[in-house]
């Protein structure tokens, strides 16, 4: 089929098609040290309670609350990790450390700050003054108050982060069933594309940016990556590279370049011969020639039934590859790895500058989201936008709320005036990879004529976490009174 003959579909359609051909991979068993970032394939229950015994919250004295304040003999001690404790009878107390079991008979703990050591009594008996009467249960964590025996502490399908590793260790879950992460091969194509180490460049050559970038993106997504090098623009060499990827037994092949309309754009014809192309053109900017195919393959040696390989033919322009990876490949990798909600997360943000709209394709504008007051350089454009939008009463160009008028007083008001701002990364041409530098979101810019004004509220798809976003000059105010 000629490349132009592929029906142009929307990006949501493309995403649905990809996910409908993607299945979560099976499960493997990993140890605690290998579980970070994986998705659990089983629920995890607590085999015992935490604390397993009534535990002291303070260093102090275990007392009988009904005894109230007064002078008492210290009849024993309970230290964390030791169980050799005497019962505490009314009229006596025991020394206790934080986390230690409360001895039988005691029903409260009085912190050491509310006591006073007294001279030893007859026979060297230790004595203490309890200065403040305790309430029953004071400074004691009852059995199971953090985790009750039998509680489900993590669900199947949950991703394991740092806290979850600690939770797993707490409940003694040291061997876990987790979803397998996909194996992903990355292949660049193009006679002009040479290794990044090449210097000086020969006539017509460019360094291969896509392979290193896509390998990094797949690795960041948790995939096991395989570098397939660069394919020349010949049907024979490309076919050999595809065969090599199949031999490696990868779940996914990502290619870049050679999917558009030129007479050396050979990826689509190759995939037509070897598998099924599900789409070959998508109404999006950048990334129009994005191609997706599946290959049905015989089982690998020693394997069971046949297997499937997903092939993503990303456009060669580096930014197109970058954007297409995040929009369609990443959700597929996530679904294979067990994510229940594999799509990019969407937030709302205000445009810091005007954006010229594209009348033919919706655009994924790279931006850096940052929290704070209007970023430097945006204010004059914003003022004009607010006035214009108010005049036009256009919901797309709705004015920012009154909180934008930065109040000069009151920490609470100042905090309330902060917002999530979308700062453009500049010229968005799909060859300019610097337009993806420091980008943590893709703005969803509608296909229309004209300009989307600064101050407009837009949806943004997160492609990085926001923990590293730029800090505005002067920082962000904190909770009043904090």
* Site of interaction with ligand LQZAQKY5 (CB under 6 A): 188, 190, 192-193, 206, 208-211, 256-262, 265, 286, 288-289, 315-318, 320, 430-431
> Is residue 320 close enough to count as binding ligand MOO by CB under 6 A?
yes
Q: Judged by CB under 6 A, which of 285, 326, 334, 350 binds ligand MOO?
A: 285
Q: Judged by CB under 6 A, which of 103, 315, 342, 477 binds ligand MOO?
A: 315
User: Which one of ligand LQZAQKY5, ligand MOO, none interacts with residue 138, CB within 5 to 8 A by kind?
Assistant: none
Q: With 0-12 CB in 10 A as exposed, 13-18 as middle and 19+ as buried, what is 415?
A: middle
- For ligand MOO, give the closer residue by CB, 76 or 315: 315
> Is residue 316 close enough to count as binding ligand MOO by CB under 6 A?
no
- Shortest CB 11 distance to ligand LQZAQKY5, Å: 14
- Shortest CB 8 distance to ligand MOO, Å: 11
- Shortest CB 456 distance to ligand MOO, Å: 23
- Shortest CB 264 distance to ligand LQZAQKY5, Å: 8
- Shortest CB 198 distance to ligand LQZAQKY5, Å: 12
Q: Judged by CB under 6 A, which of 183, 288, 334, 335 binds ligand MOO?
A: 288
> Is residue 287 close enough to count as binding ligand MOO by CB under 6 A?
yes
- For ligand MOO, give the closer residue by CB, 364 or 421: 364
User: Which one of ligand LQZAQKY5, ligand MOO, none interacts with residue 158, CB within 5 to 8 A by kind?
Assistant: none
Of 475, 435, 421, 165, which Cα lies nearest the Cα of 320? 435
Residues near ligand MOO (CB under 6 A), total: 8
* Count of residues in the chain: 482
- Shortest CB 264 distance to ligand MOO, Å: 17
Count of alpha carbons within 13 angstroms of residue 441, beta-carbon side = 29
Q: 85 vs 50, 90, 107, 126, 199, CA distance in Å? A: 20, 16, 14, 16, 75
Cis peptide leading into 286, omega within 30 of 0?
yes
Distance of alpha carbon 368 from alpha carbon 436, whole angstroms: 9
Of the candidate spans 7-15, 71-79, 281-289, 443-451, the one that interacts with ligand MOO by CB under 6 A turns out to be: 281-289
- Shortest CB 213 distance to ligand LQZAQKY5, Å: 8
Three-state secondary structure string covering 80-132:
CCCCCCCCCCCCCEEEECCCCECCCCCCEEEEHHHEEEECCCHHHCCEEEECC
Distance of alpha carbon 130 from alpha carbon 109, whole angstroms: 10
The CB-nearest residue to ligand LQZAQKY5 is 316
- Shortest CB 430 distance to ligand MOO, Å: 3
Distance of alpha carbon 227 from alpha carbon 212, whole angstroms: 9
Q: Judged by CB under 6 A, which of 286, 313, 318, 374 binds ligand MOO?
A: 286
Distance of alpha carbon 386 from alpha carbon 379, whole angstroms: 10
Distance of alpha carbon 350 from alpha carbon 369, whole angstroms: 9
- Shortest CB 419 distance to ligand MOO, Å: 30
Torsion of CA 113, 119, 121, 122, to 10 degrees: 160
- For ligand MOO, give the closer residue by CB, 268 or 288: 288
User: Which one of ligand MOO, ligand LQZAQKY5, none interacts with residue 378, CB within 5 to 8 A by kind?
Assistant: none
**Chain positions contacting ligand MOO, by CB under 6 A:** 285-288, 315, 317, 320, 430
């Amino acid at each position: 089929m000629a490349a132009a003959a592929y029906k142009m579909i929307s990006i949501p359609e493309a995403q649905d098609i990809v996910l409908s051909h993607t299945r979560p991979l099976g499960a493997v068993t990993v140890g605690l040290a290998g579980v970070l970032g994986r998705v659990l394939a089983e629920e995890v229950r607590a085999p015992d309670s935490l604390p397993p015994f009534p535990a002291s919250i303070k260093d102090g004295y275990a007392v009988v609350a009904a005894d109230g304040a007064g002078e008492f003999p210290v009849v024993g001690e309970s230290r964390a990790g030791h169980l050799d404790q005497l019962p505490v009878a009314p009229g006596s107390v025991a020394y206790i450390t934080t986390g230690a079991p409360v001895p039988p008979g005691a029903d409260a703990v009085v912190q050491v700050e509310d006591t006073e050591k007294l001279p030893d009594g007859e026979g060297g008996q230790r004595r203490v003054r309890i200065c403040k009467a305790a309430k029953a249960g004071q400074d004691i964590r009852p059995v199971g108050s953090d985790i009750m025996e039998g509680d489900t502490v993590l669900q199947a399908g949950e991703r394991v982060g740092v806290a979850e590793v600690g939770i797993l260790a707490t409940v003694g879950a040291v061997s876990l069933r987790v979803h397998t992460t996909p194996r992903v091969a990355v292949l660049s194509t193009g006679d002009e594309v040479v290794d990044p180490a090449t210097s000086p460049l020969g006539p017509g050559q460019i360094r291969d940016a896509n392979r290193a970038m896509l390998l990094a993106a797949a690795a960041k997504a948790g995939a096991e990556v395989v570098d397939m090098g660069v394919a020349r623009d010949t049907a024979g060499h490309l076919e050999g590279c595809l065969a090599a990827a199949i031999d490696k037994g990868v779940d996914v092949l990502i290619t870049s370049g050679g999917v558009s309309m030129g007479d050396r754009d050979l990826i689509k014809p190759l995939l037509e011969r070897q598998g099924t192309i599900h789409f070959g053109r998508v109404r999006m900017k950048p990334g129009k020639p994005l191609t997706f195919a599946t290959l049905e393959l015989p089982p690998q040696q020693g394997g069971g039934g046949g297997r499937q390989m997903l092939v993503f033919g990303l456009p060669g322009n580096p930014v197109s590859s970058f954007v297409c990876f995040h929009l369609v490949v990443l959700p597929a990798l996530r679904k294979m790895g067990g994510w229940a909600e594999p799509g990019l997360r969407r937030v709302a943000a205000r445009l810091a500058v005007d954006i010229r709209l594209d009348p033919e394709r919706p655009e994924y504008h790279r931006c850096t989201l940052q929290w704070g007051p209007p970023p430097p350089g945006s204010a004059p454009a914003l003022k004009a936008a607010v006035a214009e939008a108010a005049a036009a009463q256009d919901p797309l160009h709705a004015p920012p709320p009154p909180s934008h008028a930065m109040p000069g007083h009151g920490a609470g008001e100042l905090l309330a005036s902060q917002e999530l701002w979308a700062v453009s990364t500049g010229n968005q041409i799909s060859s300019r990879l610097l337009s993806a530098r420091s980008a943590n979101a893709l703005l969803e810019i509608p296909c229309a004529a004209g300009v989307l004004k600064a101050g407009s509220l837009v949806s943004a798809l997160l492609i990085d976490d926001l923990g590293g976003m730029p800090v505005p000059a002067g920082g962000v105010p904190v909770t009043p009174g904090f």
